[in-house]
Amino acid sequence: MSAESLSAGRQKAPRLQPDWWRKTLAAVLLGFPLALVITGLFAWAGPGGIAATDKVQFNMWLLTLLWLLGLSLVYLFRSGNQALLWLGGANLLLWPLFLIVRGVMAG
Amino acid sequence: MKVSSDILRVYKALHTWVGIGTGLLLFIGFFAGALTMFKQPLDRWSAPPAQQLAMVKSNELDTLVSGVMQQFPDARQQLVVHLESAEHISAPVEWQSQDEDGGHGPDLDGEHWHATLNAAGEVQAESIRPSMLGDLIDLLHQTAGIPGTVGHEYLGVQILGLAGILYFLALVSGLIILLPTLVKDFFLIRRGKNRKRFWLDAHNVIGITSLPFHLIIAFTVVVFAFHDSFYGSLKAVVYQDTPMFGAPPAAGERPQARSVDQLLPPTELIRRIEQAAPDFKVTELVYMQVESPRPIVRAGIYNPQYLVRGPLTGYVGINPYNGELTMTGMLPGKSNVWSDIVVTFFALHFGSFAGEWVRWVYFLLGLSGAFLFYSGNLLWIESRRKKQKRGQPLPQQARNTRLMAALTIGVSLGSVAGIGFAIAAGKWGHVAAVADINSLYLQVYYLVFLLALTFAFMRGGARAAVPLLWLCALASALIPVTSALAVLMPSTGLWFYNSAATLAVDFTALLLALAFIFAAYRTQRGLQRANADTVWYIEETGHKAEPAGIGAGS
């Protein structure tokens, strides 16, 4: 366990808070819309566009994978509030962008 | 690789709790899933010979299919045409009476029919109750045996979907906590005095070496359970008015319902499919809703050289009236990058690629996965052990670790024994003229499972482990013993097939029985050496009755 003692001794950074409830809620309630909006951007503006044959199936798998990654990596945030802040901020940033892209491309 | 100790601490806790919360559900899913790799061989093993009708020559197939379509309106909803024969295929064509409840999954109480041509060339149809052993094991795999439905979904599938999410978290967190010592721990199993170290090493080695398989399984399980909701979200937000699954037929050219006497003969359909897919063998045709505006025949096409979407074969659709091919994404040269990627995930879940040897690899991966969850639970119990301090009295082990030991032993060994007895019971039930073999499978499984679980809670994990391992050995052994009895005493009415597939069932069950006997011996030895400050310590009743000190003097 030398790796542990090294990194613990090197810096006295603020400890990682488990904050189970907040982080889990952030990943479930904010992580899903975030995964959805990224998938949406990929669906409209990504290769093949919205009408590519069978791409909808790929998109559904992509949505699932993104959400699962969000759920499993959310505990790396330093605190629950940080998770809420970052995931919420990303949603606020990407949703208007997605709505514009969808509006323009759907014509 | 360096990972901060804070991260390790959080992810260790996460790994522990998602692991202990899902381990036993996943154990059942994995053990039954390993068996579904050989669903067809298990069906062939259990199919009674008495129900077989003669297969027909390919030139008679056209007469048979058109005859059945004319005479049996139910067959127009769905008719399965088998183009290959095997023990579990009772006749060249089969269908079900249509009932109201619909839904997917095996229809246990529906009326089934099969048919062939008699010597005069007329359709000869019979009502049958086919054994659905393979489908039931598949259902156990998908639901972990949790009964009930929610809407038109199985409750068990939804629960395993949730377990799949937690299982994905367990895999990522397990990987993160192993990162600092990954290279050192890789392929290292320390045996010897420290039993916990051995279990931990085995858990880590199996987890790391089969991690890609487990990630795929966790990912696909979540998709299989929740795809309807996910498609719903995509529809609501992303697609809206854009059609998701191809454009619907324009109003003007809407096809109209046709009559069954206009159907192309099956041999013509097969010829057209083989023309489009020359490398593939057509194994079956499933006629679906031939009287509806969207009639389709789904053909199973087999070539182990290709990744396929189904558990066994790839599919291609063909219109039975004009011979037009649909669902051609599977065909070489007709696929696109999106469906290629998606088909890969399906194939990686089902092990349906590269032929038979991959099925064996998946079978072993499934069993080792079950072992991974079993060992995870044992480690959870071990890490909560209250150790006796030098010179201190023996501490009482916590109630939750004792309950978890009983639950782990009861659920895992109970489900294994239940499946084994159910498989063997099919043949004995047939001999005893049990009318409904499929209900018998379910009754035997749940009876054995619940009895084993009750036994484990009554006696505690330590005292239940060895008897239940013997029960698993007995259950597995019954499978080849039943076959051996069929050979030695044909008068019993038991039957035996000597095809490679069914012999492999007997042989594998025999090997499993030996493995359980070995496990029972090892466990017994381990329990005898168990420290007094563990849940595995069995107090000898003779000593317990006498207060310490009195016994020592005599």
- Average pLDDT on B222-228 reads 95
pLDDT at B351 over 70: yes
- Average pLDDT on B515-529 reads 91
pLDDT at B441 over 70: yes
Q: What's the confidence (pLDDT) of residue B254?
A: 54
- Average pLDDT on B178-197 reads 70
Q: Do the beta carbons of residue B483 and residue B510 sit within 8 Å?
A: no
State the angle between helix axes of B155-178 and B211-233 in degrees (0 to 180), rounded to the nearest 10.
130
- Average pLDDT on B101-112 reads 65
Q: What's the confidence (pLDDT) of residue B332?
A: 61
Percentage of chain A beyond pLDDT 70 is 87
Helix (H, G, I), strand (E, B) or coil at B123: strand
- Average pLDDT on B441-461 reads 96
pLDDT at B255 over 90: no
Radius of gyration of chain A (CA): 18
- Average pLDDT on B115-142 reads 90
Question: Nearest-5° angle of CA B304, CA B306, CA B308?
Answer: 95
Q: What's the confidence (pLDDT) of residue B126?
A: 87
Q: What's the confidence (pLDDT) of residue B130?
A: 83
Q: What single-letter DSSP state applies at residue A28?
A: I
Residue partners of B173: CB distance under 8 A and separation at least 6? A72, A75, B11, B12, B14, B15, B18
User: Helix H segments across B37-57?
Assistant: 39-46
Q: What's the confidence (pLDDT) of residue B135?
A: 92
- Average pLDDT on A29-44 reads 97
Q: What's the confidence (pLDDT) of residue A4?
A: 44
> Three-state secondary structure along B382-439?
HHCCCCCCCCCCCCCCCHHHHHHHHHHHHHHHHHHHHHHHHHHHHHHHHHCCCCCHHH
pLDDT at A9 over 50: no
How far, CA to CA in Å, does B310 sit from each of B57, B137, B230, B306, B334? 27, 17, 21, 11, 17
Question: What amino acid occupies position B272?
Answer: R
- Average pLDDT on B141-147 reads 94
> Three-state secondary structure along B307-339?
CCCCCCCEEEEECCCCCCEECHHHCCCCCCHHH
Closest chain A residue to B184, measured at CA: A1
A57 touches chain B (CB under 8 A): yes
Helix (H, G, I), strand (E, B) or coil at B112: strand
Q: What's the confidence (pLDDT) of residue B242?
A: 86
- Average pLDDT on A23-36 reads 97
B290 — pLDDT class (breaks 50, 70, 90): confident
Q: Can you tell me the distance from the alpha carbon of B182 to that of B200, in angstroms, rounded to the nearest whole number? A: 13
CA atoms within 13 A on the CB side of B385: 21
How far does the CA of residue B323 sit from the closest CA of chain A (Å)?
A: 22
Q: Count CB neighbours of B124 within 10 A.
A: 16
- Average pLDDT on B204-218 reads 93
Q: Count CB neighbours of A80 within 10 A.
A: 20
Winning range, highest mean pLDDT, from B273-282, B324-333, B397-406, B410-419 = B410-419
Q: Shortest CB distance from B6 goes to which of A16, A54, A73?
A: A16
Q: Can you tell me the distance from the alpha carbon of A67 to that of B293, in angstroms, rounded to the nearest whole number? A: 39
pLDDT in tens, B379-416: 999 888 888 888 888 888 888 899 999 999 999 999 99
Q: Shortest CB distance from B339 goes to which of A3, A54, A76?
A: A54
Q: Do the beta carbons of residue B160 and residue B225 sit within 8 Å?
A: yes
Q: Can you tell me the distance from the alpha carbon of B81 to that of B94, in angstroms, rounded to the nearest whole number? A: 7
Q: Can you tell me the distance from the alpha carbon of B342 to that of A62, in angstroms, rounded to the nearest whole number? A: 10
pLDDT at B267 over 80: yes
Question: Which B residues 224-263 touch A at CB under 8 Å?
Answer: 226-227, 230-231, 233-234, 237-242, 244-246
pLDDT at B552 over 80: no
Q: Count CB neighbours of B294 within 10 A.
A: 13
Q: Test A71 with B165 for CB contact under 8 angstroms.
A: yes
Place of tokens 């990627």: B341
Question: Which B residues 148-177 touch A at CB under 8 Å?
Answer: 165, 168-169, 172-173
Pick the range with the lowest mean pLDDT from A77-91, B60-74, B239-253, B495-509.
B239-253
Query: What is the average pLDDT value for chain B, to the nearest integer?
Result: 86
How far does the CA of residue B428 sit from the closest CA of chain A (Å)?
A: 44
Q: Test A3 with B6 for CB contact under 8 angstroms.
A: no
Q: Count CB neighbours of B5 within 10 A.
A: 18
- Average pLDDT on B479-500 reads 91
Q: What's the confidence (pLDDT) of residue B348?
A: 92
The residue among B331 and B380 whose pLDDT is bigger is B380
pLDDT at B454 over 90: yes
B101 — pLDDT class (breaks 50, 70, 90): low
B540 — pLDDT class (breaks 50, 70, 90): low
Q: Test B238 with A102 for CB contact under 8 angstroms.
A: yes
When scoring A17, A41, A55, A60 by the number of chain B Cβ atoms within 10 A, the one with the most, hence best to mutate, is A60
Q: What's the confidence (pLDDT) of residue B548?
A: 34
Q: Can you tell me the distance from the alpha carbon of B343 to that of A61, in angstroms, rounded to the nearest whole number? A: 11
Q: What single-letter DSSP state applies at residue A13?
A: P
Q: Do the beta carbons of residue A84 and residue A31 sit within 8 Å?
A: no
Q: What single-letter DSSP state applies at residue A15?
A: P
CB-count burial class (<10 Å; 0-12, 13-18, 19+) for B374: buried
How far, CA to CA in Å, does A61 sit from each of B26, B86, B165, B336? 22, 36, 14, 16
Q: Do the beta carbons of residue B318 and residue B116 sit within 8 Å?
A: no
Q: Can you tell me the distance from the alpha carbon of B443 to that of B432, in angstroms, rounded to the nearest whole number? A: 15
- Average pLDDT on A35-51 reads 95
B21 touches chain A (CB under 8 A): no
Place of tokens 């839904």: B103
A54 touches chain B (CB under 8 A): yes
A63 — pLDDT class (breaks 50, 70, 90): very high
Q: What's the confidence (pLDDT) of residue B519?
A: 94
Q: What's the confidence (pLDDT) of residue A6?
A: 44
B179 — pLDDT class (breaks 50, 70, 90): confident
Pick the range with the lowest mean pLDDT from A103-107, B323-327, B332-336, B514-518.
B332-336
> Three-state secondary structure along B232-281?
HHHHHHHHCCCCCCCCCCCCCCCCCCCCHHHCCCHHHHHHHHHHHCCCCE
Q: Count CB neighbours of B15 within 10 A.
A: 21
Backbone angles phi, psi at B496, to 5 degrees: -150, 135
Q: Can you tell me the distance from the alpha carbon of B218 to that of B170, in angstroms, rounded to the nearest whole number? A: 10
> B390: closest CA among B290, B533, B266, B515?
B533
B186 — pLDDT class (breaks 50, 70, 90): low
pLDDT at B539 over 80: no
- Average pLDDT on B293-309 reads 82
Q: Do the beta carbons of residue B378 and residue B199 sit within 8 Å?
A: yes
B491 — pLDDT class (breaks 50, 70, 90): confident
Q: What's the confidence (pLDDT) of residue B464?
A: 95
B134, B140, B142, B145: CA torsion to nearest 10: 160
Q: Is the dihedral of CA B513, B517, B522, B527 positive or negative?
A: positive
How far does the CA of residue A68 sit from the closest CA of chain B (Å)?
A: 7
Q: What's the confidence (pLDDT) of residue A2?
A: 44
Q: What's the confidence (pLDDT) of residue B542?
A: 44
Q: What's the confidence (pLDDT) of residue B192?
A: 59
Q: Can you tell me the distance from the alpha carbon of B161 to that of B66, in angstroms, rounded to the nearest whole number? A: 42
Q: What's the confidence (pLDDT) of residue B251?
A: 52
Q: What's the confidence (pLDDT) of residue B80?
A: 92
What residue spans define the domains of chain A? 25-106
B398 touches chain A (CB under 8 A): no
Closest chain B residue to A44, measured at CA: B238
